[in-house]
Structure 1
Amino acid sequence: MTSIQWADLPKELLEMIGKRLDSRMDTLRFRAVCTSWTSSVSLPSSDQEIPPLIPNIPGPISYAPLFFQTTICRMDHVRKDPSSSSSSKSWLVKVGESNYGKLKLFNPLTNQEIKNSPMALNLLEFKFVELSKAFSLKSPRVYSVDGINKAVLFRVSANSSDENEFGILAIFHEVELAYWKNGAESWIILGGDENVQYDDITVCNERVYVVDRCGTVSWISPVLNVTQYYPSLYCFGGQKDLVECCGDLYVVDRYLEGERRRWVGIDGSDDQILPNEGFTPTHAPKAIDFRVYKMDEDWGKWIEVKSLDDKVFVLGMDCSFSVSCKEFNGVKGNCIYYMDGDDYAGSGLGGGSIHVFQLQDRSIHKLAVIPEFSEIFWPQSKVSSV
């Protein structure tokens, strides 16, 4: 019997398979197999696709940034022999697309491209399970724009029939909340209190939430009102992060060894916010402790969480999220992965830039000195591990 090559499958059959793919990630993986598969299935349209070039952001930054979207995934190694008794292996990766529609893998915390990725092996041996989305605005030179903390996609009205009626919510200059509607020529600054400094923004149960430096959590209504949703935490850490876990919203309060950095102009004034060329961080303090809080819906108050059980929190620059260590063979839970401000400002980011906070003993270590916690990430130096 003559064997049939994958590339020789009838186009009609490939089109039928393509219509049954569950996600855009599956479609990208399908298209990456070979040229004939790429031409047989087109990328699905998405109401979350926006132009890559966005109007100038508020403030003195004078260029229009580029919009990037990536996907946080669990990458599973598919065993060739289903009868094998050996356990499967999974890693946490960030997946993006190249200009040619090919998949590119990144470390979900450092954003470093994984050069020795499994894409150099056989893509058919791996599958991807989507966990979260990450969005970022970057300069035309594809550098991160200083002062843009987080960005999320946002629908203006859930009842709108216009598929293009969406935009971006972002935190600028580490204090301001702004919105850009798809097709608009400028951004809109939200919130009327100049004393509010926003730390983080995220999506939970299809709602957009923000948290300020004092621990007040608010949600953004479909008409762009910033409404306090929960009572203030009144916690005393220097930086707040929002994390969705199992449908619940958590606040991670990061205690710092000193004051947060300030935006300082070239002339030394605090009221002049400048781009990379004129930005000077006066201090980027390291984290020395963490506190985790969850809303008790029955009592309407925040409670401190002493243990995350099997959960892992990942506090990324462009996306914070949670995963269960049960989904990653051999991975330890009840911890927080993060990076300090100085790590992002440095060069040559790698596993040594990642820190791990363990809730059990409240210890902090660099990932490089506790290798048992590094199993969740793709091994940078070993391709043969799979």
Structure 2
Amino acid sequence: MTSIQWADLAKELLEMIGKRLDSRVDTLRFRAVCTSWRSSVSLPSSDQEIPPLILNLPGPISYAPLFFQTTICRMDHVHKDPDSSSSSKSWLVKVGESNYGKLKLFNPLTNQEIKYSPIALNLLEFKFVELSKAFLLKSPHGFSVDGINKVVLFRVSANSSDENEFGILAIFHEVELAYWKYGAESWITLGGDENVQYDDITVCNERVYVVDRCGTVSWISPVLNVTQYYPSLYCSGGQKDLVECCGDLYVVDRYLDGERRRWVGIDGLMDSDDEILPNVGFTPTHAPKAIDFRVYKMDEDWGKWIEVKSLDDKVFVLGMDCSFSVSCKEFNGVKGNCIYYMDGDDYVGSGLSGGSIHVFQLEDRSIHKLAVIPEFSEIFWPPSNVSSV
């Protein structure tokens, strides 16, 4: 069938195909084929519309942040010649969308926008496979909100037919878990121990988990109860990250060369109406650097944590707004058994680049900047032989 015949497909058939597209990126690729295909399927709604406004954040914050959702994708090059014997290439990329429906690409770790030319990136030559979702609260000017460590989208009920039956769970100032339901005017806190410091929150197998500084993993139920799910690790690292890998939940314990900054003024954080008050700040200590990592997985049969000595072909990526795992088998030339991450002070200021990324190799427990081990950079778009401007 020629390209002209494809363009002449009945509008009703094109609309049926459009309804079966799984992702926003697939919809944009579909619309890029020709004029008739573009007119048959409307632009997907902008991520910025869910939700448009969030109120009563801890502060001092004088604005209402916006909720941003992006998608971690494996970006596959699609060969024009089906008989080509050359191997395909794939890269990791974070995908967002502008208000005009144009794709925006970001580095999955630094969140730095990747500028590209139409020649360097033709949607018809690439396939995007969704790996994970990332969520972030930003100011109207595009800056992240200080004091909000992590946010996740939380479905109130998996069986609900109401698309607005969702909310946001967030870690505030490392000591408070808070929930915001779509359409509500304020946040509610989930209670807990004021001495507990939370490090990370994630969704695994449609369940929400949170980990504190001591390595205690708790489950947040649909009715917002926080229940200890696993026994505490009682490990001595300074920062914990949660990573889902092949359906299992892992805890990555990051050992630091100093104390992390600590939020102060938490007393009186809540008023009598359970509203969060803007009276907190943090001590101006330095952001420490990672000097070692330990990885743990729960042995379900024995009910205890075991240390993972090797990730085999897996790669863990510890991002500011999303931590996830990938298999190096899906990325040609990429080495596994390593952790990509950034240190705390790498997020300060602007101008983040691949040089801000570090790689920890479990095999020899070494840490290097990505810039000095270029063979590890092949996992990220753009590849070295493609201009990013």
Contact preservation (8 Å) 2:56, 2:276: no
Partner secondary structure for residue 260 of structure 1: coil
- 1: distance between equivalents of 2:304 and 2:196? 21
Output the CA distance in 2 between the equivalents of 1:276 and 1:5.
65
1:378 match: 381
Superposition deviation, residue 155 in structure 1: 1.9
Structure 1 window deviating more from structure 2 (307-316 vs 43-52): it is 43-52
2:170 maps to which residue? 170
CA pair 143-177 structure 1, distance change in 2 beyond 3 A: same
**Equivalent residues of 1:335, 1:358 under 8 A apart:** yes
Higher alpha-carbon deviation: 214-223 or 191-200: 191-200
Partner Cα distance (1:129, 1:282) in 2: 40
Is the contact made by 1:137 and 1:144 (CA closer than 8 Å) also made in structure 2? yes
Q: 1:188 to 1:88 in 2, by over 3 A?
A: same
Distance 1:113 1:270 in 2: 41
Deviates more, 1:152-161 or 1:83-92: 152-161
Question: Matched residues in 1 for 2:2 and 2:319: separation?
Answer: 51
In 1, the alpha carbon distance for the partners of 2:6 and 2:278 equals 50
From 364, 369, 386, the equivalent of 2:372 is 369
Tell me, in whole angstroms, the C-alpha distance in 2 between the residues paired with 1:48 and 1:112. 18
More deviation in 350-359 or 43-52? 43-52
> How far did residue 192 of structure 1 move?
2.4
The percent identity for this pair of structures is 94
Segments of structure 1 that go 5 or more residues without pairing to the other structure are none
Asked whether the 8 Å contact 1:336–1:358 carries over to 2, the reply is yes
- Residue 48 of structure 1 aligns to a residue whose secondary structure is helix
Cα deviation, residue 4, structure 1? 1.9
Q: What SS does the aligned partner of 2:137 have? A: strand
Quickly say closer, same or farther: Cα 1:184–1:246, change in 2 above 3 A. same
Are residues 229 and 121 of structure 1, via their aligned partners in 2, closer, same or farther at CA, if it must alter by over 3 Å?
Answer: closer
CA distance in structure 2 between the aligned counterparts of 1:315 and 1:187, rounded to whole angstroms:
27
When the two structures are aligned, how many residues end up with a matched partner? 386
Contact 2:14 2:40 in 1 (8 A): yes
CA contact (8 A) 2:313 2:329 kept: yes
Query: CA 1:5 to 1:371, structure 2 compared with 1: closer, same or farther past 3 Å?
Result: farther
1:57-105 per-position Cα deviation (integer Å, ceiling 9, x unaligned): 1343232110000000000000111211111000000000110112111
1:281 aligns with 2:284: yes
TM-score, scaled to structure 2:
0.90
Per the normalisation by structure 1, the TM-score is: 0.91
Change (3 A) 1:245 1:237: same
Residues 270 and 346 of structure 1: CA distance in aligned 2, closer, same or farther (over 3 Å)? farther
1:277 to partner: Cα distance: 12
**Deviation sequence 1:138-161 (CA, Å, 0-9, x none):** 111110111211111112234545
Q: Describe the SS at the equivalent of 2:86.
A: coil
* CA deviation vs aligned residue, 1:256-276 (integer Å, no higher than 9, x gap): 000001236899999999999
Encode CA deviations 1:203-261: one digit per residue, 9 max, x unaligned: 00000000000100001001000000000000000000000000000000000000001
Partner-residue secondary structure (3-state), 2:219: strand
Q: Kindly state the Cα deviation for residue 30 of structure 1 after the two structures are TM-superposed.
A: 1.7
Residue in structure 1 matched with residue 265 of structure 2 by the alignment? 265
Deviation (angstroms), 1:43? 4.7
Q: How far off is 1:119 after superposition? A: 7.2
Q: Which runs of 5 or more residues in structure 2 are unaligned?
A: none
Structure 1 segment 282-297 matched on structure 2, within 5 A: 282-297=285-300
8 A contact 2:120–2:386 mirrored in 1: no
Post-superposition shift, 1:190?
1.2
Q: 1:56 to 1:118 in 2, by over 3 A?
A: farther
Cα separation, partners in 2 of 1:172 and 1:277, compared to 1, 3 Å: closer
Q: 1:270 to 1:348 in 2, by over 3 A?
A: farther
1:4–1:307 CA distance, 2 compared to 1 (3 A): same
Give the stretch that moved more between structures: 13-22 or 249-258.
13-22
Is the contact made by 2:264 and 2:280 (CA closer than 8 Å) also made in structure 1?
Answer: no
Q: CA 1:249–1:152 in structure 2 vs 1: closer, same or farther (change >3 Å)? A: same
Distance 1:48 1:302, change over 3 A: farther
Q: Is the 8 A contact 1:56 1:65 kept in 2?
A: no
Q: Which 10-residue stretch deviates more, 284-293 or 8-17? A: 8-17
Distance 1:73 1:276, change over 3 A: farther
Q: Given that residues 256 and 288 in structure 2 are in contact (C-alpha distance below 8 angstroms), is that contact kept between their aligned partners in structure 1?
A: yes
C-alpha distance in 1 between matches for 2:143 and 2:6 = 39
Secondary structure in 2 matching 1:5:
helix
Matches of 2:115 and 2:240 in 1, distance apart?
32
> Is this contact kept in 1: 2:58–2:278, CA < 8 A?
no
Contact 2:58 2:276 in 1 (8 A): no
CA distance in 1, matches of 2:41, 2:159: 31
Asked if the contact 1:157–1:223 (Cα under 8 Å) also holds between the matched residues in 2, the reply is: no
- Residue by residue over 1:150-209, the C-alpha shift from the partner in whole angstroms, topping out at 9 and shown as x without a partner, is 111112234545432210001111222110000000001112211111100000000000
